[in-house]
Amino acid sequence: MYYIRFLVCAQTEQAINEEQIALIAYVIFAVLLLSVMSILFFVTFQKRKNQLLLKQVEQQKAFDDEITRTQTEIQEQTLKYVGWELHDNVGQLLAYANMQLNMLKTNVEPQLKPKVEETTQIVKDSLEQVRALSKSLNNEVLLNMGLEASITNELSRLKRMKFASADLQIIGESKALPDQKHEIIIFRMLQEFLSNTVKYSEANEIKVILNYKEDELIITASDDGVGFDIASAEKGSGLINIESRANLIGAKAIISSQPEQGVILTIDYPFHRPEIN
């Protein structure tokens, strides 16, 4: 009888142990399943969150590009109008004044002729400046001239204005940009740099280098002016305009400077890139 009781107790204890093991296994399985589900949920949530953030960044970039493109178009229309006004109105008035002074030279007293000739030369120089400036402001003229001729025209105008030298150097074989509109944007970036040079640099020399490579055009513009501290300088509208225009055409613009060592603008424009409309 005792033996039978022992067997019954042993079987009962074994059944309890099996139930405990099964319960523990179920709990472990449930914990693992819950953990896997939690991980999958977290990964899915993070992936969805990253997709939304990436979409927001892309939308913001597209919005910023559209704003920049609109501002650029407005600026181009304004510059075009000013260019027309300079050429059609101011230019014609200066040309008429120059003609009148040439006629006057033959009728004035000898002692006044040097003054008249000096004034005539000033009017003539002003007319050349106005014509050169009107060309640099009208994007249709710039497109017809091309990038290199437009830069040469701008540098010649600045040289007549105040600089000892303003030169363009071309390295490699010239080639057309994939989008002709990009020539206008690059020229405006250089024009912004040159405008800041005139205003702030106290420079005597300006140099622009167009380095044509197989896959990219590297443009370097530099002056020998007083320079400035990039780290402590606030981003003015000039720097922002250059950077935003560079982003618009898929280029990279870097401005470097040190006090008393001038300023250098480097533009890296890739030839092979997705077209931006």
Q: Quick: pLDDT tens for 155-189.
A: 988 888 778 889 999 999 998 888 888 998 899 89
Task: Give the distance from CA 91 to its chain's centroid.
Answer: 32
What does 5-53 look like in DSSP terms, one character per residue? HHHHHHHHHHHHHHHHHHHHHHHHHHHHHHHHHHHHHHHHHHHHHHHHH
CA angle 230, 234, 235 (to 5 degrees): 90
β-pairing, 165-171 vs 216-223, is unpaired
pLDDT of 17 over the 70 cut: no
Superfamily of domain 164-277: Histidine kinase-like ATPase, C-terminal domain (3.30.565.10)
211 vs 26, residue with greater confidence: 211
pLDDT at residue 237 greater than cutoff 60:
no
First to last CA, the chain: 98
The first and second tokens of residue 186, run together, are 């690059």
CB atoms within 10 A of CB 36: 10
Cβ distance 249 to 177 under 8 Å? no
Domain ranges for the chain? 1-137, 164-277
What pLDDT sits at residue 101?
A: 73
For residue 3, pLDDT beyond 50: no
- What pLDDT is attached to residue 268? 95
pLDDT value at 95 more than 80: no
Q: What's the mean pLDDT when you consider all of the chain?
A: 77
C-alpha 86/C-alpha 80 separation (Å) is 10
Q: What is the C-alpha separation between 26 and 40, in angstroms, rounded?
A: 21
Average pLDDT over residues 45-52: 75
Look at residue 147 and tell me whether its pLDDT is greater than 80: yes
Nearest residue to 127 (alpha-carbon basis) of 156, 162, 86 = 86
* Cβ atoms of 164 and 205 closer than 8 Å: yes
Amino acid 58: pLDDT:
65
Hey, which of 27-36, 44-53, 79-88, 163-172 has the most confident mean pLDDT?
A: 163-172
CB contact at 8 A, 187 and 147: yes
Band of residue 126 on the pLDDT scale cut at 50, 70, 90: confident
**208 near 221, Cβ under 8 Å?**
yes
